[in-house]
């Protein structure tokens, strides 16, 4: 017999369906984790195995985080790294991350995933690429299963140590034959390509400055042979651009094209420093982008041209990026930052026309198409993530998709005075924690608390490991 779930009486239910319906007194009915009905509560069945009364709440599709580094929760807010840009920041972190053992890795995964879930995130991609001291991607997959989150895990890699012209120290990298062999093991053991899958694998070399040309090419061939997606960092900083120009005589995107790394099965994190031709290449080849606004500001990397991407038809999603370069794992906060940063970038453009510089002291309002609206930002965080991950089963609340959603209390201090448009209030106003989170029809958060694990014990263990890592013990 099917296990059923009924959510009823939502003040407003944001579907993100083809019509972008926002339903008052809305509800959802699901069977075995899949939505079978969406509409006003009066049109739905009246009973189910699990019933959620969402009176006074807004319901939204589960958010999709397309770029993260879970183990970085162990090194948040390090004093030595608070005022560094990416390359210097990485060089200070590599030796610490190399020492992360399986126990510390598990607690960091649980902390990062738990923080994301409480912000309304139901699908997480984690870009792990440093596997030393016994750390394995298996640990993160097990942690995600224990929490109940939908998880895309990366078998990432670093193979190009400093002695070979890469950025990381030699002790942080792995041998390339082992990387490829272990990638096959992880895919064969864990990857689930079925509709509604809770676990998928992605092959994700770290960056152009941490892996060889041979590994990039072989990884792309392997991923396509196995039917999994590809991911890496790209066009994040001017340092990266300088590196590829000096080493290969090419800009990062041109070089990645030579490596066979363009196509609808590929998405890149950041993609800040691009020109109009490169934006068109992303659109033409179907590559996706994971925009990470907080990290880009934190590391002074730049502002990605998100509205330009959207206008060109590029698939764009959101990522919170590493918990040590954000330093939070909060998708609601990231969605708000995406909206605000897009507005800032467009507002920095000078007025057009022959006398534009003499007019700088005067107002030059943005065209309506140049504004990033709250609903556009919300779409990036939900449907945008689903499209980048090539998933038609998440990202919206409509019949046939997975029952992944979260609720927020509306009558709170956070939203006081902003309820003339409660959907926009979720993005414009200060983020608050989810009241309820459901993933594949399972209630993971109830009354604002994660119910699948004792998170207090995890926090205590995590902080112990964090201090030990920083002390080198």
Cβ 267 vs Cβ 52: under 8 Å? no
**Residue 89 belongs to domain with CATH number:** 3.20.20.140
Residue at 356 is within a domain: no
The verdict on 237 and 272 lying in the same domain is yes
- Does 455 reside within a domain? no
d(CA 274, CA 240): 12
DSSP 319-348: --EETTSSS---HHHHHHHHHHHHHHHHHT
Distances (CA, A) of 393 to 10, 198, 441: 22, 11, 13
Tens-digit pLDDT string for the chain (473 aa): 789 999 999 999 999 999 999 999 999 999 999 999 999 999 999 999 999 999 999 999 999 999 999 999 999 999 999 999 999 999 999 999 999 999 999 999 999 999 999 999 999 999 999 999 999 999 999 999 999 999 999 999 999 999 999 999 999 999 999 999 999 999 999 999 999 999 999 999 999 889 999 999 999 999 999 999 999 999 999 999 999 999 999 999 999 999 999 999 999 999 999 999 999 999 999 999 999 999 999 999 999 999 999 999 999 999 999 989 999 999 999 999 999 999 998 877 665 555 554 454 445 566 767 899 999 999 999 999 999 999 999 999 999 999 999 999 999 999 999 999 999 999 999 999 999 999 999 999 999 999 989 999 999 999 999 999 988 85
CA separation for the pair 395, 374 (Å, rounded): 16
Whether residues 214 and 154 share a domain: the answer is yes
Interacting residues of 280 by C-beta distance below 8 A, sequence separation 6+: 312
In a domain, 456, yes or no: no
Contacts of 112 (CB under 8 A, 6+ apart): 68, 70, 71, 72, 73, 126, 323, 329
Together in a domain, 150 and 272: yes
Whether 301 and 284 map to the same domain: the answer is: yes
- pLDDT at residue 317, as a whole number: 98
Position 465 in a domain: no
Are 12 and 122 in a shared domain? no
CA distance 433 to 2: 30
446 DSSP β-pair partners: 449
Q: What does 283-306 look like in DSSP terms, one character per residue?
A: HHHT-EEEE-HHHHHHTT-----H
> Is residue 216 classed as helix, strand or coil in its secondary structure?
helix
Residues 205 and 224 in one domain: yes
How many angstroms separate the CA atoms of 470 and 473, rounded?
8
| Residue at 297 is within a domain | yes
Other CB atoms within 10 A of residue 428 CB: 15
Q: Are 401 and 383 in contact (CB under 8 A)?
A: no
The Cα 334–Cα 96 span in angstroms is 26
Q: Residue 127 falls within a domain, yes or no?
A: yes
Same domain, yes or no, for 48 and 84?
no
Backbone angles phi, psi at 56, to 5 degrees: 80, 15
The domain that holds 416 is classified in CATH as: 2.30.40.10
Number of structural domains, the chain? 2
Q: SS3 of 419, please?
A: coil
Distance between CA atoms of 473 and 357, rounded to whole angstroms? Answer: 58
pTM for the model: 0.95
Asked if 109 and 231 sit in the same domain, the reply is: yes
Quick check: is 340 in a domain? yes
Q: Is residue 471 part of a domain?
A: no
State the residue for tokens 């930002």.
Answer: 377
**pLDDT at site 352:** 57
Q: Report which of 310, 224, 245 is spatially closest to residue 271, judged by C-alpha positions.
A: 310
Does 57 lie in the same domain as 37?
yes
Determine the pLDDT at residue 414: 94
Answer yes or no: do 419 and 299 share one domain. Answer: no
Do 84 and 25 share a structural domain? no
The pLDDT tens digits of the residues spanning 21-62 come to 999 999 999 999 999 999 999 999 999 999 999 999 999 999
Same-domain status, 413 and 329? no
Q: Are 157 and 174 in contact, with CB atoms under 8 Å apart? A: yes
Query: pLDDT tens across 358-402, in order?
Result: 454 445 566 767 899 999 999 999 999 999 999 999 999 999 999
What residues make up the domain containing 47? 4-61+396-450
């Amino acid at each position: 017999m099917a296990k059923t779930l009924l959510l009823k009486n939502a003040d407003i239910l944001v579907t993100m369906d083809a019509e972008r319906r926002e339903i008052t007194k809305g509800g959802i009915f699901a069977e075995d984790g899949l939505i079978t009905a969406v509409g006003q509560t009066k049109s739905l069945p009246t009973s189910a195995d699990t019933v959620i009364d969402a009176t006074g709440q807004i319901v939204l599709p589960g958010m999709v985080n397309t770029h993260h580094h879970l183990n970085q929760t162990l090194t948040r807010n390090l004093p030595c790294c608070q005022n560094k840009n990416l390359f210097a920041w990485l060089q200070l972190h590599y030796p610490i991350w190399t020492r992360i053992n399986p126990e510390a890795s598990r607690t960091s995964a649980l902390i990062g995933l738990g923080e994301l879930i409480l912000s309304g995130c139901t699908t997480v991609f984690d870009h792990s690429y440093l596997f030393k001291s016994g750390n394995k991607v298996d640990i993160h997959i097990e942690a995600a299963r224990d929490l109940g989150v939908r998880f895309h895990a990366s078998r990432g890699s670093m193979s190009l140590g400093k002695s070979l012209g890469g950025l990381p120290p030699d002790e942080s990298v792995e041998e390339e034959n082992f990387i490829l062999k272990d990638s096959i093991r992880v895919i064969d053991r864990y990857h689930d390509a079925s509709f509604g899958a809770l676990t998928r694998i992605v092959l994700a070399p770290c960056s152009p400055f941490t892996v060889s040309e041979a590994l990039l090419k072989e990884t792309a061939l392997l991923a396509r042979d196995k039917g999994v997606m590809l991911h890496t960092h790209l066009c994040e900083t001017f340092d990266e651009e300088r590196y590829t120009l000096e080493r290969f005589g090419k800009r990062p995107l041109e070089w990645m094209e030579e490596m066979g790394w363009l196509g609808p099965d590929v998405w890149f994190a950041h993609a800040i420093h691009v020109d109009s031709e490169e934006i068109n290449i992303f659109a033409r080849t179907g590559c996706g982008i994971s925009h990470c606004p907080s990290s880009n500001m934190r590391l002074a990397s730049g502002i990605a041209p998100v509205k330009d991407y959207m206008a060109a038809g590029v698939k764009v999603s959101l990522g919170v990026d590493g918990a040590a370069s954000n330093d939070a794992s909060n998708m609601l906060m990231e969605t708000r930052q995406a909206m605000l940063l897009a507005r800032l970038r467009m507002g920095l453009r000078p007025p057009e026309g022959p006398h534009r510089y003499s007019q700088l002291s005067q107002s030059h309002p943005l065209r309506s198409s140049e504004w990033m609206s709250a609903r556009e930002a919300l779409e990036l965080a939900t449907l945008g993530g689903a499209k980048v991950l090539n998933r038609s089963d998440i990202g919206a609340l409509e019949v046939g998709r997975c029952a992944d959603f979260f609720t927020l209390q509306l009558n709170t201090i956070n939203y006081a005075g902003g309820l003339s448009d409660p959907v926009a209030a979720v993005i414009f106003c200060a983020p608050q924690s989810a009241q309820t989170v459901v993933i594949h029809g399972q209630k993971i958060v109830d009354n604002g608390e994660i119910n699948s694990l004792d998170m207090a014990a995890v926090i205590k263990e995590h902080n112990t490991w964090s201090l030990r890592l920083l002390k080198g013990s």
